[in-house]
Amino acid sequence: MNALTFVAALAIPCAAAAQSLEFGSVTLRLGMPADSAIALAGKDFELFQLPDLGMWIAQPRGQPEAPTYGSIVISGRRLTKVTREWSGFGDSPLRLAQAMFDAVRFLPARVDAGWSTSTPCDIARREDVIEGGKTVQTLTVQCGRYDTTLRIENISGAQKRVSVTTSITR
């Protein structure tokens, strides 16, 4: 089973749209006041503001070379989007599988908490050729406001960069 098939299998059946997402040791909830969201996200991470986008990028404290942990978006003084990223798997299928599991693991818990399972999920697969003839493959599973994307970027020859991203949007 390849990685794209594995992600699709994990995501079905999807529960209804999530209202919150774990972000480090805290849980961020869509619609929460901007000050609270920034303070909570800043507990575990150094935050860098992109004012033109209303976005804050979360970076592990004291690790400027580490991959970005995720981001939050503020609009109208409320939290409107939370994104988590997993990357840096190298050739480790176990680390990739764990990241994909982490990205979709809350879905059954939402059903247990009384969320409806009637929200349909869309699965989209794309393959694009970008600058320099590199290919980018993406598989996105979207369930209401929640989406998980697996991205495989062909850097050069057999070298690939893999990332898994999970977002909720208000």
Q: What is the largest CA-CA distance in the chain?
A: 48
Q: List all residues 6 or more positions away from 110 whose beta carbon is below 8 Å from its beta carbon.
A: 15, 16, 18
Exposure string over 73-98, b if 16+ CB within 10 A, otherwise e: bbeeeebbbbbbbbeebeeeeeebee
Please tell me whether the overall predicted TM-score, pTM, comes out greater than 0.85 for this model: no
Nearest C-alpha neighbor of 74 from the set 90, 43, 50: 50
79-99 pLDDT per residue, tens: 999 998 887 666 677 777 777
Burial class (CB in 10 A: 0-12, 13-18, 19+), 141: buried
Torsion region of 112: left, alpha or beta (phi above 0 gives left; psi -120 to 50 gives alpha): alpha
The predicted-structure confidence for 28-67, as pLDDT tens digits, reads as follows 999 999 999 999 999 999 999 999 999 999 999 988 888 8
Question: 33: which DSSP letter?
Answer: B
